[in-house]
Chains A and B, each alone.
Chain A
Amino acid sequence: MASGMKRILVGIKRVVDYNVRIRVKPDASGVITDGVKMSVNPFDEIALEEALRIKERGAAEEVIVATIGPADCQQQLRTCLAMGADRALHVQADGIVEPLVAARALLKLTEREQPFLVILGKQAIDDDNSQTGQMLAALWQRPQATFASKVQLDGATPEGQPRLARVTREVDAGLETLEVELPAVITTDLRLNEPRYVKLPDIMKAKKKPLETLTLAALGVEQRQRLKLVRFDPPAQRQKGIKVKDAAELVAALKSKGLL
C-alpha cells in the first residue's frame, strides 16, 4: 500500500451544519439531530483545501480523506472527493467516537499510508473538543502545529519529499511561527484559506473515486468510551434588555448601573 508516493492525510468529521439552531432534547438525553442538515466540519474543509493546494503546487501526489464514524459519513467523504481528494477511507464506527479513539484510528492510517503530512481541523464544531490532532501527534511521536493560518513547506530531498513545514499559528498573543520536521500534524484555523465550491461535474466524477471501508476492529483500535455523558441542558438564557433612544440615554443607563 504505502509506496514512496507523497501523500497527505486529511481527517474529516460529519457534524451538524453550523447554521442549524441546536436544541436540547426535553428528556436531557442529547441534542436533537433528527432531520437536521449535516455537513463536513468547516475546519476540515479548510484542511482539505490546504492539502489540495499543496498537491496543486506539486509538493504532494495524493490526498486521502479519512473519517471514523457511522455509514452516513460516506456522504461527507463523497463531498470531499468531489472537492478534489483522490481517495477516501471510511472507518466504520457507530456510537460515540471520542477524540482519543479517533486519534488512535488515524495513527493506524498513518502507519498504513505513510503520509508526510496529516491535516485536521482545529476543532469539530459539535463537541468543540479541539483534541484529536494534538493526541495523534503525541501517539505518533511527531510534531504538532495547531491553529494554523499559514503553511509553507520546504527542504525537498532528492526524491522531492518536503522535510520541513513553517507554520504560522493563531495564538492569544497574536501570530506565532513554528518550524516542524515532517511528518507532522497540522490543525487548521479559519483564516488558512477559503475552501473551493464543489461543482456538479465533480460530484459525478467523485462517484467513481475509490472509497474504502474499514473497521476499528480490523485496525486493532478499541472503541472505548471513557466519558459518560450524564445529561444535556440548554444554556442559561440572558434576559432580554431594553432599548435606549440615544447616546445620552445610554450613558445615563450605564451610569445608573454603576458601569461608568
Chain B
Amino acid sequence: MSNRILIVAEHDGTHLNASTAKCVTCAMGIPDAEITVAVCAADANAVASQAAALTGVARVLALEHPANAHLLAAAVAAQIAALAGPFNHVLGPSTTFGKDVMPRIAALLDAAQISDIMAVESATRFRRPIYAGNAIVTVEVEAGAKVLGTVRTASFQAAPTGGSAPVEKPAVSAEIPAHTRFVSVSAASSDRPDLQTAARVVSGGRALGSAEAFQKTLYGLADKLHAAVGASRAAVDAGYAPNELQVGQTGKIIAPELYLAIGISGAIQHLTGIKDARTIVAINKDSEAPIFEVADFGLVGDLFQIIPELERLLA
C-alpha cells in the first residue's frame, strides 16, 4: 500500500518557495510515496503549476480563497486539516512559515509533530537534531498514527522540475477564522541572492562594529562573489544587520557551497546554522576562536585589512 503524503506549499503568491521542492525530496525518501502538494492562495494558478512541475509530485490541490491573499497560520491550518483525513503524512518546511503553521495543523488533527526532519529511516522513523544540533535523535511514530512533520531544508536537495502533475481545485469547506489580520510585511528589497538558497554566503559578526562598517566591509565582497549576506545574532542585536540575515539556531539554517564567517567567534548557536555548509572559511583575529574548529580554511588577522585585500584579489 502506498504512503499518501500531503505537502503544504510555501509561496509568496507568485513564486513557489524552494523549501517546497526540498520537502518533496524528503517525502520521496518515504517508501511508496504518493505525493500531493496543497497550495493555499487567493489565485493559485501560477504557484500550482510550479508545484505540478516538480518531479515526484502526483497531484496538486489548489485551495483558492480570498483569505489566502496573505498566508496566516490559523486560516491555512483550518484548510489543510479539513483535507488531511486520507493522508498518512503531512509535511511542511522548517521555515518560519512551516514552523508557524504545521504545529497548528498537528493539534487540529490530534497528532504529534516531528520538527526538523533531517533524515527518513522508514515511513514511521525519522532523525532530527535537538540541543542546537548537538545531538541527533531517532524518533518512531506510533503505528497507524498520522505523521506530522517539518522538513529541515538544509538536509535535502530541491526536487528537480520536469514533472506535470494534474492540478485540482477542490471546494474549500473549512471555516476560516477572522480573528487574525495581516497588517504589513517589511520585505527587505534586495537584488542579492537569497540567504536560504545562495551557493555562497558572506557573514559578519560583532567585530564589524557598526551598521556602516558592516555594509561597507561586507557588501562589496558579497557582490564580487555573487554571495548572499548573513550575520551572527550579536551583529543583528546590535543593529548592524536586519533580523532576516541571522544565521543559527534561532535564525536561518543554511547549506551553501561556501560560507565566509568574518569576525564571528563561532558560538554553538551560530554553528548550528552552518553545519551543512560544504566549505567554511573563518577570518578572525583571535587564533583560539572556536570558529577555527569547524573551518576548512582559517585566516588569523584583522578583518579590516584582510577583506579589502581579498576584494582586490578577486577583482
**Beta-carbon contact of A253 and B113 below 8 Å:** no
Q: Is the CB of B135 within 8 A of A232?
A: yes
Closest Cβ of chain B to A57, distance in Å, is 21
> Which of A123, A139, A147 is the one whose CB lies under 8 Å from B107?
A139
B250–A123 CB distance below 8 A? yes
Q: Is A243 in contact with B298, judged by CB distance below 8 angstroms?
A: yes
B180 touches A176 (CB 8 A): no
Contact with A along B228-263 (1 / 0, CB 8 A): 000001001100001110000110100001100000
Report the Cα distance A24→B268, complex, angstroms.
16
| Cα-based distance from A173 to B95 in the complex (angstroms) | 10
Q: Is B174 an interface residue (CB 8 A)?
A: no
* Of A22, A100, A130, A250, the contact of B112 (CB 8 Å cutoff): A100
The proximity string for B residues 92-131 relative to A, scoring 1 for CB distances below 8 Å and 0 otherwise, is 0001110111111111101111111000000001000111
Encoded as 1 (CB less than 8 Å from any A CB) or 0, chain B from 77 to 97 comes to 100000000000000000111
Assess whether A199 is interfacial by the CB under 8 Å rule: no
A-B contact count (CB 8 A): 250
The answer to whether A177 has its CB under 8 Å from any CB of chain B is yes
Q: With contacts A130-B115, A180-B180, A191-B237 known, is A174 near B186, CB below 8 A? A: yes
Q: How far is the CA of A247 from the CA of B137 in the complex (A)?
A: 40
Set A31, A131, A233: member contacting B113, Cβ < 8 A: A131
B249 with A125: CB separation less than 8 A: yes
Chain B interface extent, by class: 35 or more
A209 at the A/B interface (Cβ < 8 Å)?
no
Q: Max chain B CB contacts within 10 Å: which of A98, A134, A233, A251?
A: A134
* Interface presence of A156 (CB below 8 A): no
Q: Which residues in A have their C-beta under 8 angstroms from that of B249?
A: 125, 128
CA distance A58 to B182 in the complex (A): 27
Interface size class of A (residues with CB under 8 A): 35 or more
Q: B179 near A142 (CB under 8 angstroms)?
A: yes
Q: Can you give 24 A-B contacts (C-beta < 8 A)?
A: A100-B107, A126-B130, A128-B129, A130-B103, A131-B115, A138-B104, A138-B107, A139-B107, A146-B99, A149-B243, A171-B97, A171-B185, A172-B252, A173-B12, A177-B183, A179-B180, A180-B180, A184-B179, A228-B139, A229-B138, A230-B125, A230-B138, A241-B280, A253-B297
In the A-B complex, the 4 residue pairs with the smallest Cβ-Cβ separation, listed nearest first, are A241-B296, A138-B107, A134-B103, A135-B107
Interface residues of B, Cβ cutoff 8 Å to A: 12, 72-74, 77, 95-97, 99-108, 110-116, 125, 129-142, 145, 177, 179-188, 196, 225, 233, 236-237, 242-244, 249-250, 252, 257-258, 268-269, 275, 279-281, 287, 292-301, 306, 309-310, 313-314
Chain A positions within 8 Å of B, measured between CB atoms, are: 16, 18, 21-24, 31, 98-100, 103, 122-123, 125-139, 141-147, 149, 166, 169-181, 184, 189-191, 226-235, 238-251, 253-254, 257, 259-260
